[in-house]
Amino acid sequence: MYHSSALPFTLLSSFTADLANGANQTALTELSTTPNSWDCSEYGLDVNDIDLPFLAYLTSPDYSSSDSDICNLTDSTGVSETLPQFTDLLATVTTHRKNLEQQVLPDKTSPHTSVCEETSIQETKSSPVTPKHHSRRGTKGNRTNQSVHLWEFVRDLLLSPHKNQDAVRWENRKEGTFRVVKSDMFAQLWGEQKKNKCMNYEKLSRALRHYYKSGILERVDGRLTYKFGKKAHGWREDSPKQLT
């Protein structure tokens, strides 16, 4: 019922801490039997809190751990500009869930096969009509698990050490500089996020470099070192919701 990877970071950090201390466990258990009826103030959350629908959903019988993609909605940039009402967001979640069922369920019925796996590679190699790069492109699949942007993924890794596995760490938190400590691990974590077994640091770093142009990241001296740019948000210590 309580699937840690499905939770938005802001809730994840606070609730996992509480759960680790044994706090709120009873309350969460009770919540699971009375979906969406709990008192948000008990957790210090506002009724318009962006995370509420997700927690309500996650604590409802409708939720299954395989729906972890649902958390991606909270990671969209600019989502906090105007917070919709709880019911509206809940409707959004419901709609998103239906979309997930339509888009993801077919994949659930058959084993996941990566285009990087040998069989696919061999097939594409042997096919004369295969378009250029077909064997290595088009791996994004459905977007349900893609809504998390790379920079947001990196940010959340930095902000949640328990998921980090020491792959990246802050170099200077105030300046927003961070360093990739274990490039292989870093790429592996991103690959797991994207369900892409072919991810490596070369590709990951290329994706990061794309952010220079958009201002999400800034160039800094030093190998394996990056810096959040003006367009990146939610990484500062003084951003209470990790969103601005």
Partner DNA sequence: GTAGACTTTCCTGGTT
Partner DNA sequence: CAACCAGGAAAGTCTA
Q: For DNA, which residue of 122, 214, 239, 240 counts as binding (CB under 7 A)?
A: 214
Residue 11 Cβ vs DNA, minimum distance, rounded to whole Å: 22
Q: Residue 133, interface with DNA (CB under 7 A)? A: yes
Residue 235 Cβ vs DNA, minimum distance, rounded to whole Å: 15
Report the distance separating Cα 243 and Cα 138, nearest Å: 31
Spatial CB neighbours of 211, under 8 Å, sequence gap ≥ 6: 150, 151, 217, 229
Report the distance separating Cα 119 and Cα 197, nearest Å: 14
Q: Residue 227, interface with DNA (CB under 7 A)? A: no
Q: Residue 147, interface with DNA (CB under 7 A)? A: yes
Q: Which listed range, 6-14, 25-33, 202-210, 235-243, lies at the site for DNA (CB under 7 A)?
A: 202-210
Q: For DNA, which residue of 140, 172, 173, 240 counts as binding (CB under 7 A)?
A: 140
Residue showing tokens 């990146």: 232
Report the distance separating Cα 180 and Cα 37, nearest Å: 42
Q: For DNA, which residue of 30, 33, 210, 240 counts as binding (CB under 7 A)?
A: 210
Q: Residue 43, interface with DNA (CB under 7 A)? A: no
What is the Cα gyration radius of the chain? Answer: 20
Side by side, the strands of the sheet bearing 177-180 are 168-172, 177-180, 225-228, 217-218
Q: For DNA, which residue of 13, 14, 205, 244 counts as binding (CB under 7 A)?
A: 205
Q: Residue 151, interface with DNA (CB under 7 A)? A: yes
Of 36 and 142, which CB lies nearer to DNA in the complex structure? Answer: 142
Spatial CB neighbours of 159, under 8 Å, sequence gap ≥ 6: 9, 13, 234, 235, 242
Q: Residue 223, interface with DNA (CB under 7 A)? A: yes
Give how many residues touch DNA by CB under 7 A.
47
Q: Residue 104, interface with DNA (CB under 7 A)? A: no
Q: Residue 183, interface with DNA (CB under 7 A)? A: yes
The dihedrals phi and psi of 179, each to the nearest 5 degrees, come to -125, 140
Of 14 and 142, which CB lies nearer to DNA in the complex structure? Answer: 142
Q: For DNA, which residue of 80, 225, 229, 244 counts as binding (CB under 7 A)?
A: 225
Q: Residue 120, interface with DNA (CB under 7 A)? A: no
Residues that bind DNA (CB under 7 A): 77, 103, 115-116, 131-144, 146-151, 180, 183, 190, 194, 196, 198-199, 201-207, 209-212, 214, 219, 223-225
